[in-house]
């Protein structure tokens, strides 16, 4: 079975039910993808953010990060696996019980839509965080 979801929630609880330490692990993990905004304030990425879920420290990871920066997405998910943290799907989820067979035309349409989404995201990112010449 394959689960397609918009977001993953990495809980600060191990598979054995213990609280993951250190207590600021979510800020440290999200800080790896954070940067300073135009006003000089520390700002987390829109794709990886620390959150509190049912009273527990967690990290929200948007799956669209895998389309933009696959290595960053893999780093975050590997962190969860290596530390045996609980990962749950959130947002809209689709469970596929059978293998999906796409035609070439359908695959081209999906690729085209993804490339447009990526272009729009990059455009929005450049508009929010202008590049500076050093």
Low-confidence ranges of the chain (pLDDT < 50): 96, 98-110, 127, 129, 131-134
pLDDT at 3: 57
Domains in the chain: boundaries = 2-100, 101-134
Cβ burial 92-117 (10 Å sphere, 16+ → b, else e): eeeeeeeeeeeeeeeeeeeeeeeeee
| Closest-CA residue to 6 (of 113, 121, 90, 97) | 90
**What does the pLDDT look like over 46-78, one tens digit per residue?**
999 999 988 899 999 998 898 898 999 999 999
pLDDT at 12: 92
The full DSSP string for 93-130 is: EEEE-S-----HHHHHHHHHHHHHHHHHHHHHHHHHS-
pLDDT at 119: 59
9: three-class secondary structure by DSSP:
strand
Return the half-sphere exposure (C-beta side, CA atoms, 13 A cut-off) of residue 49: 11
Q: What would the two tokens of residue 57 be?
A: 């420290």
Contacts from 34-39 at CB under 8 Å and sequence distance 24+? 35/129, 37/129, 38/129, 38/130
Q: What would the two tokens of residue 33 be?
A: 């993808």
Considering the domain delimited by 2-100, tell me its CATH architecture.
2-Layer Sandwich (3.30)
pTM of the model: 0.63
């Amino acid at each position: 079975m394959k689960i397609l979801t918009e977001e993953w929630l990495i809980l600060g609880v191990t598979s054995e039910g213990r609280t993951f330490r250190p207590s600021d692990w979510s800020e440290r993990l999200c800080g790896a993808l954070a940067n300073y905004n135009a006003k000089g304030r520390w700002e987390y990425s829109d794709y990886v953010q620390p959150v509190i879920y049912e009273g527990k420290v967690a990290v929200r990871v948007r799956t669209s990060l895998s389309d933009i920066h696959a290595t960053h997405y893999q780093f975050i998910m590997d962190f969860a696996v290596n530390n045996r943290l609980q990962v749950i799907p959130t947002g809209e989820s689709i469970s596929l019980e059978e293998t999906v067979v796409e035609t070439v035309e359908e695959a081209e349409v999906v690729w085209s839509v993804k490339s447009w989404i990526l272009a729009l995201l990059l455009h929005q990112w450049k508009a929010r965080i202008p590049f500076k010449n050093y």
